[in-house]
Structure 1
Amino acid sequence: MLRLEHIQKIYPTGVVLKDVTWEVKPGDRIGLVGVNGAGKSTQLRIIAGEIEPTAGQVVKPSDCHIAYLTQEFEVEPGRSVKSEFWQVFTEACQIQAELAEIHQQMEKLTPDDDFDKLLKRMDKLQRKFEALNGYELDSRIDKILPELGFSATDADRQVKEFSGGWQMRMSLGKIMLQEPDVLLLDEPTNHLDLETIEWLEGYLKGIKVPMVIVSHDREFLDRLCTQIVETERGVSQTYLGNYSTYLTQKEETKAAQQSAFDRQQKYLDKQQVFVEKFRASATRSTQAKSREKLLDKVEKIDAPVSNVKTLRFRFPPAPRSGRVVVEISDLTHAYGENILFLGADLLIEKGDRIAFVGPNGAGKSTLLRMIIGHEPHNEGEIKLGHNVLPGYFEQNQAEALDLHKTVYATIHDDFPKMTNEEVRTILGTFLFSGDTVFKEVVATSGGEKARLALLKMLLNPMNLMLLDEPTNHLDIPAKEMLEEALQAYEGTVIIVSHDRYFISQVATKIVELRDGELRMYDGDYAYYLSKLDEEKREAEYKKQQAALEAKRAAKRAKDKEKRKKK
C-alpha cells in the first residue's frame, strides 16, 4: 500500500534520517518511536508530501489518499459543528454558498434583471452538486456525529463551546469523512483526558484504515499498535507486535548483537595478536600479511547502542516530615455556577504517591494550586503537616526560566556547590549533552525548556512533590528515567497526568475527582480500574433491580385494581 525506501533527510543543522525503510500494509497500525529529534514527525511529513526527502522515495499508488491529523486541531471556533464538518467537502461547500447567493438575488429581482440567466446558473450548479453526491453529504455527517460521541443537538452548537478533546474528535471526523487510504496521527493523545484517550483507542480500533502513529503514550501504543518502527541514529528497525512486545524483542536483539560483537572482537584480537607476532618473521610474515589483509576486509559488527535508560537520576534525600502531609477538610470551591468541590475531604500521608484523575475541568490542577497556596478556596480547610517542604511543578513552569542564561548556568547558578562534572552529568541525565549545555535557554525547544525547568525544581530538597503533567514534552527514555527516580523517592508525591502508563508506574494510590468529592482508591492504577468496573457492575445491578421492582409494583397495582373491579 505504501513503502518508504532508504529515506534520508538532511537539514542544515545535521542529518536526521540516514536509512529509513518500512512499509504500511492493509490492517496495519504502526507506532513510530524514538527519542525526541529522531525524526518521527519528519517521516510523517514526508509521507504526507509536506516535505521532500533528501534521498530515497515513498512508493505508493497514484490514487492513494493520505490524511494527516497534526498536533494542532484545524477547526474554526465560530462555526457550528455541522458547518465545520461540511468544510471537508470544499467544492460542494462552495456550490452551496453560490446557490445561497443566487436565492438571495432572486428574492430581490426587479423586472430589469435577467431571471433566465440566474435560473440557468442555478440549474448548472444544482447538477454539479448532484454529481458530487452533495445531497448525500448531509446524511454522511449525520451518521458520523454519533460515532464520534456527538448528540443530535450538538450539530447546531458552536465549535468554541467544546473542549480540546471534543475539537480533536471534530478534526478526526473531518478526516474520516474524506475516506482516507492511510491515516497519519501525530501525538493524538496530547492534552486529552483519560476518558477521551480511551474513547480514541476504541474508535481507532474499530476502523479498518491502516494508520501510522507518533506518540509518547506507551499505554496507547500498547493497546493499539500491531507493529512498532523504531528510529535510532537515523536508521529504522521494524518490530512485529505492540509496544511491550517491541521492548522484549529489542532486548533480545540487543543481547544477540552484543554476543556477536563480543565473539567477533575475540576473533579479531586473536588474529591481530598473530599478525603482530609474526609480521617480522622470516618464515611466517607472508601468512601474517595475508591475515592482516583479511582483517581489513571483515565487515565489522557494531556494538549495541547504549540505551538512554541506563542513565540514572535520584532526587536529593527528602527531609523528614510528620505522618500527616496534607489534610483537606470540608473543601468547597466553585467558579460561578461551576462547582468543583462540595464538602470534600482528603488525608495524604507521608510516603504516599498519589495521582489525581478525572476529566478535564474537574479541578485537578486547581487542587494542586490550592495545596501549594497559589490559589485561595471558598470554604473549608487545607493544612500542610509538620515540617512539610513542598515543591511545585506547573505546566507553564518553563516560562519562569531566564532566557538569556545558558542551560549550564541555569543549573550551576542555582546550585553553586555542584561541581562542573556533577552539573554536566545531571544535565546529561535530562538529555542535555555536548554543546547543547552552552546554548542559551531562548534558543532551546519547548521540550528542552520543560525538561530544564523540571530538573531545576527537582534538585531542591523537598518532602512533598506536586507535579502537574510532568511528562509533557518528555520522550519515552526520559519518562522512564523520571519514573525510576519517583519510585525511589522517599518523600510524598502528588501528580496530575494523562499518561496512564506513567501513573501505573508511579502512583500507589488514586484520588478521583468526581461530583464535587475526592474519592480515594487505596491501590495502584490497575486496582482503581478494577474498582471502577466493580462499581459499574453494582450500579447496573441496582438499576436492573430498580426496574424489576418498578415492574413488580406496577403489576401489583394492576392486580389490585382488578380485584377492586371484581
Structure 2
Amino acid sequence: MTLLATKSLGLTLGQPLFTDLSFSLEAGDRIGLIAANGRGKSSLLRCLSGALEPTAGEITRARGLKLALVDQNVPDALLPLSLRAATLAALPAEVAEYESWRVEIVLDDLAVPEALRDTPLGALSGGWQRTALLARAAVGEPDLYLLDEPTNHLDLSRIGMLQRWLAALPRDVAVITTSHDRAFLDAATSRSLFLRASASRMFALPYSSARMALEEADAADARRFENDLNKADQLRRQAAKLKNIGINSGSDLLITKTKQLKDRAEKLEASARPAHREASAGAIRLANSGTHAKALIALNEAAITTPDGRALFSTGQKWIERGDRVVILGANGAGKSQLIRAVLAAVQGAEGAVKAAPTLALGYSDQNLAQLPDDTTPQALVSQFANDQASKTLLAGAGIKPDWQARPLGRLSGGQKARLAMLLLRLSQPNFYLLDEPTNHLDIEGQEALQQELCAQGATCLLVSHDRDFIRAVGSRFWQIEKRRLIEVDSPEPFFASELNRAN
C-alpha cells in the first residue's frame, strides 16, 4: 500500500534545495534521508508533513494517513511540563482522560526510567528531550514517522534502544529518518534517498551499500557526460568539413546536412548533464605543528572525580605519545568528559597526577562548543589569526558564507559552529588535539573530512565520541572505563556490542 508519493517536488528557500523529486513510500518502508547540513533534509520532512508548502510539484497522501514529524528541538511551551505530562498533552483533549494509559505503555516501550517521567523537560538532557518528542509522536500511533536527527545527543545504549524500538514497530508502519550516524542508518533503514539540488537518487539499500552504488552511478554519469561531449564535438567537426565542401561546390544539400549536424550537436550538448559534484559545505583541514617530546600526556594513577568530588575511576599509569589517536570508551556518566577536563587542566598548568609536556600545543573542542561565545562573530574569532581579507576567505572555505561571517554565533547552525570550531583548531596549529564529541552537529561529509585529516596528518589526539564509524576510522588506541579503572583494550567492538544491547 502506498502511503505517500511525491511528483516533481521542488523547494527553493533562497536557493534551490531540491528539484524534480519523485518517489513513493510504501507501508513498512524504512528510508534514510541523506544530505549535507543545510541542503534541505529538515525542509523536505516538513513538506511531507504538511508544515511547509513546496515551491513546485505535488505530494499525495493516502486517505486517513496519520503521520508524525519528530523535530530536532523541544518547543519552548513544553519545557516546563514533565516528560509524562508532555506525552499526555500530545493526545487529543477529548480522549486524554480515559486513554492516559497509552502514555505509560509508550514510556515503557522507550525504556524511560520512572524517576525521569515527572522531571520537567527543561531539566532533562538533550537525549531525554529527544526521547520525549518521540514519545509524543508514538502515543498517537501514526502510520508514518518522520524523524529529524533522532540520534543526536544519544549515547550508544540509547541508540541501541532506538534501533530496537524501530525494529519492533508494526510491520506496516513506515519511517523516514535523517541522521549523520552512518552505523545507525545501516542498522535502521533499508532504502536510502540522497537528496540533491537536482537529480536526487534513491537506492533500495541501507546507507553503506547505497553509498557505493551512488559513487558507481556518479562515475557512470561522468563517463556518459564525457562521451556525449565527445560525440557533439565530432558532429561539429563533421559539420565544419561539410560546410566547406558545400560552399566550394555550391551544394544546397550539403549546406542543409551541415545545419542538421549542428542541430544534433547542440541537442546532444543541451541534454548532456555533468556528473554530480556535491557543493562542499567547507573542507576541514587540520595542521599538526612539531614537538620533540615523546610522551605528550602522562597519567600517573590519576583519580578522576565528578565536579563535586565523588570518585569515578583511577587511570593507572598511561602515556599518550606522538601519533597516538586515543579514544575513551565508557557508558554515559562513567567520567569520559571528566578525564578530558583533567587533561585540559594539566595542559593549562594545573599540578597533579596528569602531566603535559612543556612543548604541547593544544587544540581543544568542547562537545557543546562552549569555546565559541554566542555574542561574538566568526569574523572576530578568525581575525585573531589572519587579516580581514584572509579571514573572509578562510571562513568561506569552512562553509560560512560572507553574509553570515559578521553575525553573532548564536544565530549560526550547529553544523556551521562545528566547522568554525575545526577551522579555529587548524589555525591554532596544535600538536595535540583534545576532542569531546567532535562529530556533534557535523554532517557525514564533515565527519569524513575530519577523520581523513586526523589520520593523514598523523595527529596526536585524545577524544570522546559516540559515532561508531568515526571511532573505527580514527582510533589507534582505545581506553575503556570499566569497574572504576581505565584499562587499555585492543578493539572498541566488544564495548559497542555491550552498550547497544544494554537495558537502560
* Pairwise TM-score range, normalised by the shorter structure: 0.7 to 0.9
1:505 aligns with 2:473: yes
Q: Distance in 1 between matches of 2:431 and 2:490?
A: 21
Q: Distance in 2 between matches of 1:490 and 1:153?
A: 45
> For 1:452-491, what aligned pairs fall within 5 Å after superposition?
452-491=420-459
TM-score using structure 1 length: 0.77
Q: Distance in 1 between matches of 2:123 and 2:482?
A: 22
1:381 aligns with 2:383: no
Say if 1:214 and 1:294 are closer, same or farther in 2 by CA, change over 3 A. Answer: same
Say if 1:481 and 1:154 are closer, same or farther in 2 by CA, change over 3 A. Answer: closer
Deviation string for 1:297-320 (max 9, x for gaps)?
Answer: 335221212346899755334312
Kept after mapping to 1: 8 A contact 2:280/2:399: no
For 1:306, the equivalent position in structure 2 comes to 277
Kept after mapping to 2: 8 A contact 1:31/1:221: yes
Deviation string for 1:440-479 (max 9, x for gaps)?
Answer: 5657544323312321222322221111222222222122
Deviation string for 1:16-62 (max 9, x for gaps)?
Answer: 23222222111111111112221110011111111111221110123
1:494 aligns with 2:466: no
Say if 1:19 and 1:410 are closer, same or farther in 2 by CA, change over 3 A. Answer: farther
Deviation at 1:401, TM superposition (A): 7.9
Q: Residue 264 of structure 2 is aligned with which of 277, 294, 301?
A: 294
> For 1:46-445, what aligned pairs fall within 5 Å after superposition?
46-73=47-74, 76=78, 79=81, 81-92=83-94, 96=97, 134=98, 137-150=99-112, 162-208=124-170, 209-280=173-244, 281-282=246-247, 283=251, 284-298=254-268, 299-307=270-278, 314-332=285-303, 333-336=305-308, 338-342=310-314, 345-373=317-345, 381-385=353-357, 387-394=359-366, 395-397=368-370, 399-400=372-373, 403=376, 406=379, 411=382, 414-415=385-386, 424=393, 427=395, 429-432=397-400, 435=402, 440=407, 444-445=412-413
Deviation at 1:162, TM superposition (A): 5.0
Q: Distance in 1 between matches of 2:141 and 2:16?
A: 35
For 1:4, the equivalent position in structure 2 comes to 6
Kept after mapping to 2: 8 A contact 1:66/1:184: yes
Say if 1:474 and 1:142 are closer, same or farther in 2 by CA, change over 3 A. Answer: closer
Q: Distance in 2 between matches of 1:231 and 1:157?
A: 38
**Residues matched between the structures, number:** 486
Give the match's secondary structure for 1:414. Answer: coil
Say if 1:429 and 1:218 are closer, same or farther in 2 by CA, change over 3 A. Answer: farther
Q: Which runs of 5 or more structure 2 residues have no equivalent in the other structure? A: none
Kept after mapping to 2: 8 A contact 1:393/1:467: yes
- Amino acid in the other structure paired with 1:40: K
Q: 37-46 or 166-175: which moved more? A: 166-175
Deviation string for 1:350-380 (max 9, x for gaps)?
Answer: 2111122333333322322221228999995
Give the match's secondary structure for 1:20. Answer: strand
Deviation string for 1:146-178 (max 9, x for gaps)?
Answer: 322135676566666754333433332232121
Q: Residue 493 of structure 2 is aligned with which of 526, 537, 552?
A: 526
Give the match's secondary structure for 2:319. Answer: strand
Say if 1:353 and 1:404 are closer, same or farther in 2 by CA, change over 3 A. Answer: closer
TM-score using structure 2 length: 0.85
Give the match's secondary structure for 2:10. Answer: strand
Show structure 1 runs of 4+ deviating over 6 A: 309-312, 374-379
Say if 1:491 and 1:91 are closer, same or farther in 2 by CA, change over 3 A. Answer: closer
Kindly indicate which of the two structures has a greater share of residues assigned to helix: 1
Give the match's secondary structure for 1:279. Answer: helix
- Amino acid in the other structure paired with 2:37: N
Kept after mapping to 2: 8 A contact 1:30/1:228: yes
Q: Distance in 2 between matches of 1:47 and 1:391?
A: 42
Give the match's secondary structure for 1:43. Answer: helix
Q: Distance in 1 between matches of 2:79 and 2:64?
A: 32
Q: Which runs of 5 or more structure 1 residues have no equivalent in the other structure? A: 97-133, 537-566
RMSD: 3.4
Say if 1:379 and 1:176 are closer, same or farther in 2 by CA, change over 3 A. Answer: farther
Kept after mapping to 2: 8 A contact 1:362/1:513: yes
Kept after mapping to 2: 8 A contact 1:81/1:155: yes
Kept after mapping to 1: 8 A contact 2:9/2:57: yes
Deviation at 1:63, TM superposition (A): 0.9
Kept after mapping to 1: 8 A contact 2:286/2:422: no
Deviation at 1:223, TM superposition (A): 1.2
